[in-house]
Amino acid sequence: MSTKLAFVINTAIFISTPHRGSSLATSLPGLIGARLSACPRIIEELAKSFVTENIDLLKPEFAAFVANKVNSISTLRPDSPVTGMLANFPIDRHVTFHTISGIKRNPLGKINEPPTDGIVPLSSAVLPGADCEVGVYSGHGAHTTDEAIQVVQSLLKLHIGVLTEAEVAETIKGMGLPFSRYNGMNLTPPASPALKIQLLP
């Protein structure tokens, strides 16, 4: 007798996620990377046949996109129809979600304008409706920083009932982050005007 397992996702933590793509995908390094990337031939053939057989059902821009070489870099272009479609998908209202963004500083210690982790701009990493939003001083490896790890641990402890919301907020508030918001309240004011402009209301 087989047993079926059902998983219900009710909490998500996004770290340096390019929800609205990254302009790096259209830069010279991105274009070179897209050219060098290899996609299995069967996937390319399936994509082309999908477009051919459904041409009347697809928007022209999506059909043109799929007909070309599709890979993980091309789908990150801000003008990619895939990126636009995914960015507009609503998150289930039963799912609590949080965002952690990397904020890179220049050699003088100032935050770059516009704010970015070097790959993903802040404007692409934040999402409206996030319960907790924090920035950590980091490049694109934000997930490896002590601050991001501490935030994730605190949110997971909240999820299982070990910490209260007030304790999580107090922990995040004392971390010296470039910005942090929890339940719509600023815990750490944005460290620069550029951050304030890019953060969603």
From residue 166, alpha-carbon distances to 83, 94, 140 in Å are: 35, 21, 29
Q: Give dist(CA 185, CA 113) in Å, integer.
A: 24
Q: Give dist(CA 127, CA 91) in Å, integer.
A: 10
Q: Give dist(CA 102, CA 109) in Å, integer.
A: 14
- pLDDT value for 30: 46
Q: Is the CB of residue 194 less than 8 Å from the CB of residue 113?
A: yes
Domain positions in the chain: 23-87, 91-198
Per-residue tens of pLDDT for the chain, all 201 residues = 566 666 778 899 999 988 876 665 455 454 545 454 555 666 566 666 766 666 676 666 666 666 565 655 556 666 676 676 667 778 888 899 999 999 999 999 899 889 999 888 898 899 989 999 999 999 999 999 999 999 999 999 999 999 999 999 999 999 999 999 999 899 999 999 988 888 876
Q: Give dist(CA 162, CA 169) in Å, integer.
A: 14
Residue 178 is given by DSSP the state S
- pLDDT value for 132: 96
Rg (CA), the chain: 20
Question: What is the pTM (predicted TM-score) of this model?
Answer: 0.76
- pLDDT value for 36: 47
Query: What is the identity of the amino acid at 138?
Result: S
| Cα dihedral: 140, 143, 146, 148 (round 10) | 100
Angle at alpha carbon of residue 100, lines to 94 and 104, rounded to 5°: 160
Q: Which residue has the tokens 């950590």?
A: 136
